[in-house]
Amino acid sequence: MKITNEQNDIDYVLFSEEQIKTRVRELGEELTRRYNGKEPVVVCILKGASFFYTDLCRQIKCPIHMDFISVSSYGKDAQSSGIVKLVKDLDNNIKDKDVLIVEDIIDSGLTLKYLREMLSSRKPRSIRTVCLLDKYQSHSPEVATDMKGFNIENQFVVGYGLDYADFYRNLPYIGVLKKECYE
Ligand code: IMP
Ligand code: MG
């Protein structure tokens, strides 16, 4: 696949840079209140959450620790393989820590369920999740995230960290990918 102009592959913009910025600021304010007096370990799920994560961390106005984890479930397909694999673990121990998992998007909910269970087994004091996007019709309510940026319909989106086959991550907005690009 050779992509010369990623903008051409976008059907329409779902969330502009401005809309994302405003929502991330609101989430940051809420997290600042929730973690008042604490020092949460804020965990980025690589690579999709990277832009959301760095923007969000700067909006949390209390001391935090940053750590990174990488899992793979998608490969090159626009459909989940259903198998979640740990590619890179956290650097630090989270026992007795307040952990906040930062994810780009929930689709089937498998990734978040896997991570929540795996990290919970390490006995953190608390564990919460924040996802920028929630395909709320694609998963059961049991796998719901504690906080979210936006609900979206069941459609394939890219940009602001989200990829298709590792492309489109650096688009500054979130857009719906044209169907012919992945079908
Ligand atoms: P889940 O395990 O099915 O919930 O899938 C979650 C992961 O799939 C996310 O971390 C994303 O990396 C990826 N994903 C799901 N939907 C999309 C999408 O619309 N665009 C890009 N990546 C997606
Ligand atoms: Mg991904």
Domain at 70, CATH number: 3.40.50.2020
Asked, for residue 112, whether it belongs to a domain, the answer is yes
Residues with CB under 6 A from ligand 1: 48, 73-74, 80, 103-111, 156-158, 162-163
Asked, for residue 25, whether it belongs to a domain, the answer is yes
Strand partners, 86: 71
Asked, for residue 61, whether it belongs to a domain, the answer is yes
Whether 133 contacts 174, CB under 8 Å: yes
Asked, for residue 133, whether it belongs to a domain, the answer is yes
CA-based nearest residue to 115, from 156, 142, 96, 143: 143
Q: Model pTM?
A: 0.94
* Confidence bin at 59 (pLDDT 50/70/90): very high
Atom of ligand 1 lying closest to residue 103 CA: 10
Mean pLDDT in residue range 78-93? 84
pLDDT in tens, 17-35: 999 999 999 999 999 999 9
Active site residues: 107
Kindly tell me the number of DSSP H helices and DSSP E strands found in the chain.
3, 9
Give me 69's structure tokens.
């984890």
The total number of structural domains that make up the chain = 1
Asked, for residue 92, whether it belongs to a domain, the answer is yes
According to the model, what pLDDT value does residue 172 have?
A: 97
Asked, for residue 9, whether it belongs to a domain, the answer is no
Domain range enclosing 21: 17-153
Give me 149's structure tokens.
């940026």
CA angle, 121 then 126 then 132, to 5°: 100
Asked, for residue 182, whether it belongs to a domain, the answer is no
